[in-house]
Amino acid sequence: MAVKTGTAKKIGPDGKYIDKYVAYTAGVAPASRPQFALVVVMNDPSNGSYYGGAVSAPVFSQIMGDVLRLENVMPDGMPQGAENLIVMHDSHPQGRRCNSGLQGRIALHFRPFSNTGAVMSYSCPLCHAPLSRSDNHYSCPQRHQFELAKEGYVNLLPVQFKRSRDPGDSAEMMQARRAFLDAGHYQPLRDAIAERLRHYAPTDLLDIGCGEGYYTHAFAAIASRSWGLDVSKPAIRAAAKRYPQVNFCVASSQRLPFSDASFDAVVRIYAPCNAEELARVVRPGGWVITATPGPVTYWS
């Protein structure tokens, strides 16, 4: 979801404008999909300097009960200090001012961005330009367009990149694996990786070869934002229906549809991947967790 900096946006009951200080989300996600609240921290109202970040919708809902209504929003009336936060969200377009006690709570779910930065989104699998969301599709400046399925996932696997008519696991294979996983056979592996991720505390996480989302769901409870990718359309469809809080896409692990340095953590469990692509999408200082089959993994 893109982030824009606005030179003027009407907020506050008095209808006044605040110049140069507003960051807001572009596009509105369906009600069933997570949205992001934007937090702008005012450092120095005299020169307009600020930093901000994205907060997930559940966190936004939790803090809104403690947020004070913003009465005066003109720059010359803004109190000094970084503890004065303005929360912007599609459902609360007028804005709110947080008291200082909320700063620590928000910081736990805070992702900085620059004045011209953007919240991570998909990139076009054909031309690699950033994709922007509009209603029920994603599109790039070259007018390549990718429809958003009713389940909430997007198919970013063009036909020319498919190695077969229906790549990846079939619906029958996916259902059989799901039954096996739901029986708890791989829960120790999932728990071990989740514990490691808690130590890293990633903001943006990608699960490559996510299948029907068994592992991704657990990891999404740790990362602020999570993505699941698989070449199997039936698996991604099932994952998106079951776990709407995760961003799922049909795509090839050989051509990851993300811009450079998009993720703090990438997880790859028994999934093939292009090593160069893997290195490309991980941020400096980020982590890659790989689980590979051992000698007895596939014993029957």
Give 10-residue mean pLDDT values along the chain (300 residues): 31 33 32 41 38 45 38 31 39 42 44 37 88 84 90 86 62 76 84 92 92 92 91 92 91 91 92 88 90 62
Backbone phi, psi, residue 280, to 5°:
-65, -40
Q: Which helix (H) or strand (E) holds 96?
A: strand 92-97
- Tell me the two tokens of residue 280: 């490309």
Q: How much is the pLDDT for 161?
A: 61
So where are the chain's domains? 2-71, 159-291
Please give the pLDDT value at position 48: 37
Please indicate whether the domains covering 2-71 and 159-291 agree at the CATH topology level: no
Question: Which pLDDT score is estimated for 168?
Answer: 57
Architecture of domain 2-71: 2-Layer Sandwich (3.30)
Asked whether 55 and 106 are in contact (CB, 8 A), the reply is yes
The CATH class of the 159-291 domain is alpha beta
Cα distance between residue 269 and residue 230, in whole Å: 12
* CA–CA dist 150, 133 (Å, integer): 15
Answer for the pair 193, 287: CB distance below 8 angstroms, yes or no.
no
DSSP-H helix ranges across the chain = 57-64, 103-107, 171-182, 187-200, 214-220, 233-242, 275-281
- Sort 27 into a burial class: Cβ within 10 Å, 0-12 / 13-18 / 19+: middle
